[in-house]
Amino acid sequence: MKRISYLIFVFSLLACLQVVDLVASPPNIVFLFSDDLRWDAVGYAGNEKVHTPNLDRLAEEGVWFKNAFVTTAICMSSRGSVATGLYERAHGWRDCRTRMAREVWDAFSYPSLLRKAGYYTGFVGKFDVDIEDRGWTSQEWGEQFFDVYRPFYFRPVYYEIEGEQVHRDDLELAAALEFLDNRPKNRPFCLSLWFNAPHSDHEPAPRHLAHYVDKAMPPPAPDSESVFSKSPEFIKTSLARTRWREYMETDTVREKLVKAYYGQVSGIDEAVGRLREKLESLNLHENTVIIFASDNGFFLGDRGLSGKWLMYEPSIRVPMILYDPRTEPSRAGPVEKLVLNIDIAPTLLEVAGIAIPEAVQGESLLSLVRGEDRPWRNAFFYEHRRDCPPELNQIQSIGVRTERWKYIRYTEQGGYEELYDLSNDSDESRNLAPDRRFRELLSKLREQCDYYTKLYEL
């Protein structure tokens, strides 16, 4: 953790000097975060099969980012990056042996900095970030970091309450609504509702599954098995293929899973609508910023795979919406720029008028929302370094994605490389790395990848 002690000391001094003017009524924040939701499993992205009227309305009234990605496609590390604006190699939460240091959380995370500035902070759902020690599923543990902490793990899906079986998603929503009702009226708030849905092996509430009972689900890309047949052996034997055999191997099994997946997305959509109704009933809707995103994407049979982890598009591309009722309606609509999960924390800090720590590695999205003409990234670094438990065989990799090209290096397989031309091969079906015509480009992307690995250390 080079430089981190000094940076934390400097930023702590700045935080002490900065006083947020609560009289000026800084906006409230509601951050809605899904689990394993791929970018195209929402109606506003063009999916006509999924039922998401509330998310579609949020995207229509706000800004939605067509090219949003995660810097690592696994729940735990991505959530650490979302909270802090740091790459996994900087925040340190990557496997069963490491934890995020308390000093990192305190100095960089949006909940910590908002709380220091006077915000009333609440968390509901799946946190999945261990700070100093293992314990995020404990309410008492989480109350070190939030004013209100209501954790829900992805199992059980149903809880028995007063003799009735109540779905976990309904309990998450109820806890979020309770937070809004009971918040102090003289302080701005930040509510983080991080859903467990639509995790692949979960069961939606029957009313949400009902949207799909008589619908045929979209099939995987027609060349999925052809692409799989050309994959290296270590991918063919990885967890992503094992999960495919569990969830996708027959049309009947896959159809059932995709309906359950979409049903959970509709459950999230219902929660979005209910929360917006609550904000309006409490007269908070005109001063509450809402952001919606996901921790990673998900293979629904694409490339003959299921799960995430790997650097292909279905795994790393996610939905992202920012709705600010104070923004001119003319600014609503899609934004094409490359945006990342590490951009969320600095965005929330700027929304609240709080100084963004200098060492944060993401960028606030508000300049894009405002339509400012300023330099923006045209490439980003990806990493997946989880090695716990090793028998899961999730495949470690690093790489670079530009607006046109994708370079992948598999760090445990002798540096095996892949190169894809996304403008002419959106399915990533033709690995150009062995092609001598791309030797110069491959060399440049290797150098860029090596540069990023050093740049994003703290």
Supply the pLDDT for residue 1. Answer: 53
Supply the pLDDT for residue 23. Answer: 39
Can you tell me which residue has the tokens 């309410």?
Answer: 139
Q: What angle do CA 326, 329, 330 make, to 5 degrees?
A: 130
Cis peptide before 198 (omega within 30 of 0): yes
322 φ, ψ (degrees, to nearest 5): -125, 120
What count of other Cβ atoms lies within 10 Å of the Cβ of residue 361? 24
Question: What DSSP designation does 329 have?
Answer: G
Cis peptide before 156 (omega within 30 of 0): yes
Whole-model pTM: value is: 0.93
Helix axes 168-182, 251-281, angle to 10 degrees: 10
**CB proximity list for 258: less than 8 A, separation 6 or greater:** 217, 218, 300
User: Which residues of the chain carry a pLDDT beneath 70?
Assistant: 1-24
Q: How far is the C-alpha of 413 from the C-alpha of 409, rounded, in Å?
A: 9
Q: How far is the C-alpha of 20 from the C-alpha of 59, rounded, in Å?
A: 30
Cis peptide before 329 (omega within 30 of 0): no
* Cα Rg of the chain (Å, integer): 21
Supply the pLDDT for residue 97. Answer: 79
**CB proximity list for 285: less than 8 A, separation 6 or greater:** 276, 279, 325
Supply the pLDDT for residue 20. Answer: 39
What count of other Cβ atoms lies within 10 Å of the Cβ of residue 76? 22
pLDDT single digits (tens) 55-88: 999 999 999 999 999 999 999 999 999 999 999 9
Query: Could you name the CATH architecture of 24-372?
Result: 3-Layer(aba) Sandwich (3.40)
Q: Taking Cα atoms as reference points, which of 125, 121, 73, 80 lies closest to residue 98?
A: 80
Supply the pLDDT for residue 10. Answer: 46
